[in-house]
Amino acid sequence: MENVWRKEAQRIVNTLSFVTEQGIVLGEPYDPVPTDVPNQSTTDGVPQINSYILDISSDTYSNIQEQLETNGQLDRALRWYRLGKSTVTPEDKYVAFWTGLEASVDQESALTDDELEAYNRVQNGIEDLVYATDDYDEEEGELDDLKNSIKNNIGWAKKESIPDAIHRNIKHIVDDEDIPNVDGDSLRSKLSTLSHDRANVVHRGEEVENVREKAAYLELLLRRLIEDTISNPYSDLFPNKPETPDHSLRVSPDEWFRAIFEESDIELTRNEIRKRAFALSNELEESYGIHAEAYAGWNNPLTQTGEGESRAEDTFVYSKPKWLDAEKVRVLEYLYGAGAVPVDVISHNSGLDTDTVSETCEALTNTNLVNRVGDYFELSIDGKQWIKRGGDPACLVIEDEEALQ
């Protein structure tokens, strides 16, 4: 019975780690001696857990509990995701996230019926070929290891490779642009590179170039695959969840509140609003940061009704966000075709002065459309998805200076 409850505890913690996107280590806290501190690869602490996060994690676990009982691959994938998030060593992260991807997929047969028949003939004939010697002593069994080794070494021909299996499972939710700076001209070839790098770490103890960045890519792939596998993890948080709004919560809160309240006459508490926002966005920190009272009152999308509840204001006039001016569009246009670049490079290619570019990049960073990496800026995943949804950036909402006054 103890093992049953331990497994249950592990699944709950795995789910909590997945929801919070932070590592959680099971077991007694470890107090490292000073000489161990530089080499400590895991952390016992963890996210700032509160009732809101526990409620979301509990609802999520209730939704996927039955699926975890019957889907060992999902169970293992969540475990390896947690282990990857719980270590600070980039090589350990790399191996954990790749192992999670391997655990998430089945290797299908790579052979046609005729090829499978030929394969079986070869396998069945190996024994006769190996033992075809007059002086073979069956009791000594000196050729048995050779026979088994040959059979195992040709076994790879029967099934697709691990990179092929991973590619088959993620190609509809990921493209090669999601993992830049990896050698390869397609998603499949980039997966081969990542697989080769993993073998270099595990079997040869070699260093991997840009290992932190590649580990982050593998984390993204594993999370996307888990999210695609889980059946309605947030259905208790938001029944009949609508499509996620095109604009971020920070840019257009009124658009989000229209989705959260389903344009119907319902009243929700602050935590109910937060849970629905999380179900729409998968952004825990952003959804927890919603303070409903800040969006209530005259010319705001909400009305407070007492008892800590709010409802959508039916007289509020919905409008598109008026934040994307021509300068921001020019920066987005350049970043969409570039990687992480400094301000002076953006300035040179956008035709804007460096001060304007600095201010614009900071504004775009605050809306989660651009990421800051040291002194460099790059388009975020949200930014890429937003631009893809709206087509060319120039087609998105643009307001001139007068409209912004």
User: What DSSP string runs through 91-124?
Assistant: HHHHHHHHHHHHHH----B---HHHHHHHHHHHH
Question: Which residue has tokens 């809101």?
Answer: 52
Nearest to 404, CA basis, from 297, 340, 326: 326
3-state secondary structure of 88: coil
What's residue 41's pLDDT?
41
Q: Which residues of the chain have pLDDT under 50?
A: 1, 28-30, 32-47, 320, 391-405
What's residue 33's pLDDT?
46
What's residue 94's pLDDT?
96
Q: Are 262 and 242 in contact (CB under 8 A)?
A: yes
What's residue 27's pLDDT?
55
What's residue 256's pLDDT?
84
pTM over 0.85: no
Nearest to 386, CA basis, from 326, 321, 299: 321
310 pairs with which residues across the strands?
268, 304
What's residue 212's pLDDT?
93
What is d(CA 339, CA 356) in angstroms, rounded to the nearest whole number?
20
Length, in residues, of the chain: 405
Q: Are 331 and 352 in contact (CB under 8 A)?
A: yes
CATH topology of domain 326-404: Arc Repressor Mutant, subunit A (1.10.10)
Q: Using DSSP, how many helices (H) and how many strands (E) does the chain show?
A: 17, 6
DSSP string, 294-334: GGBSTTSSEEEEETTEEEE-TT----------HHHHHHHHH
> Which residues, at least 6 apart from 226, have a Cβ–Cβ distance to it below 8 Å?
18, 74, 77, 78, 81, 104
What's residue 403's pLDDT?
41
Burial group, residue 178, by CB count within 10 angstroms (0-12, 13-18, 19+): middle
